[in-house]
Amino acid sequence: MYARLPDTPRDVVAVTIDGEPFDARAGDTVAAALLASGRLATRTTPISGAPRGPFCMMGVCFDCLVTVDDVPNQQACLVTVVPGTRIRTQHGNVALAPSPGVEG
């Protein structure tokens, strides 16, 4: 489990995790919000179904993959929460979501 230091006031950012409301803090990554909510395991692997959670927190291990705003396989440690961010833990292989709009 993870605890927030007491002397670090920050604005509350209301998000949902697996449909439940959670008060994250401004500047939290999705991974930080998940850990602060008491979830160490944030997905199961597509291969053996083993539980995994955030490991490196810097975008290289890809173990913190979750669904953010209905887009699967997002690196939770690289996405910052905003009010209303919808976070879902992932189980095994996830269906491909509709392609997000891409400019370029």
Partner 1 sequence: MSARIHDVAVIGVGPAGLAAATVTASLGLSTIAFDESPSPGGAIYRALTTTPVRRPEVLGPDYWRGGNLVRAFQAAGAEYLPATSVWAVARRDDGAFDVGVTGGRPAARVAETFAARALVIATGTLERPFPVPGWTLPGVVTAGGVQALLKSAALVPEGRVVFAGAGPLLWQVAWQCLNARARIDLVLETIPRGRLAEAMRHAPGFMFSGYLARGLELVRAVRRRTRVVEHVEALEAQGEGRVERVRYALDGTWHEVAADALVLSHGVVPNLHLAAALGCEIAWNPTQASFEPVVDAWGGTTIGNVFVAGDGAGVAGVEAAIARGRLAALAAANALGRIDAARRDADAESPRRAVTHGLRGRAFLDALYRPADAFRRPDGDTLACRCEEVTAREVRAAVRAGATDADALKVATRCGMGPCQGRFCALTACEIVAHERGVSPADVGHPRVRFPVRPVTLAEGASWSATPAAERTEERDPR
Judged by beta carbon, residue 17 or residue 35, the one nearer partner 1 is 35
Binding status of residue 104 toward partner 1 by CB under 8 A? yes
Q: Give me the residues paired with residue 22 across strands.
A: 15
Binding status of residue 74 toward partner 1 by CB under 8 A? yes
Binding status of residue 95 toward partner 1 by CB under 8 A? no
Judged by beta carbon, residue 20 or residue 76, the one nearer partner 1 is 76
Helix (H) or strand (E) holding 67: strand 65-68
Binding marks (x or -) toward partner 1, 13..52, rule CB under 8 A?
Answer: ------------x-xxx-xx--xx---xxx--x-xx-xxx
Tokens describing residue 104 = 């370029």
Closest C-alpha to 85, from 61, 99, 68: 68
Q: Are 44 and 67 in contact (CB under 8 A)?
A: no
Minimum CB–partner distance for residue 59 and partner 1 (Å): 5
Secondary structure of residue 35 in the 3-state scheme: helix
Separation CA 3–CA 36 (nearest Å): 7
Secondary structure of residue 34 in the 3-state scheme: helix
| Residues at the interface with partner 1 (CB under 8 A) | 1-5, 7-10, 25, 27-29, 31-32, 35-36, 40-42, 45, 47-48, 50-63, 65, 68-71, 73-74, 77-80, 82, 99-104
